[in-house]
Amino acid sequence: MEPSKASPTPMVSTCNLSAHCGSPIENDFDYRSIVGALQYIVITQPDIAFAVNKVCQFMHKPLEQHFKAVKRILRYLQGTLEYGIIFKDAPRVSLVGYSNANWVTDLDGRRSTTRFCVFLGGNPVAWGSKKQ
């Protein structure tokens, strides 16, 4: 992926991944390994949280379209190596929370996906994503 052109976004906003459209990939171990590593990167780069959550939903049976989505996330990370959260001491303590919801765009289960992130003194203390 090193010689690849960087992507401006981690996922296309109109990307609708499905568990039933496409052909299976040859080596699903690589898919699971890369996506597992991306879950750790989300801690310092929460801008990829939505895209990583979407590709995590297909860990059991990844298809070609899912692996293309993972490659796009990697290309985005390649172009944003200088971005990320820096953990440091904060002189003032504050508690801030953000949330987002994706209303019923899951083609397979017609479920909503919600996400949240809570910061204490500028450092993330909790984040999560849930299919409802």
In a domain, 3, yes or no: no
In a domain, 55, yes or no: yes
The answer to whether the CB of 36 falls within 8 A of the CB of 98 is: no
In a domain, 9, yes or no: no
Predicted confidence (pLDDT) at residue 132 exceeds the cutoff of 60: no
* Six token digits for residue 95: 């508690």
Q: Give the pLDDT band of residue 95 (cuts 50, 70, 90).
A: confident
In a domain, 14, yes or no: no
In a domain, 2, yes or no: no
Please give the Cα distance from 16 to 30 (Å, whole number): 22
The answer to whether the CB of 114 falls within 8 A of the CB of 99 is: yes
Q: Give me the residues paired with residue 94 across strands.
A: none
pTM of the model: 0.67
Between 31 and 81, the higher pLDDT residue: 31
Residues of the domain holding 119: 28-131
The answer to whether the CB of 55 falls within 8 A of the CB of 41 is: no
pLDDT in tens, 53-71: 999 999 999 999 999 999 9
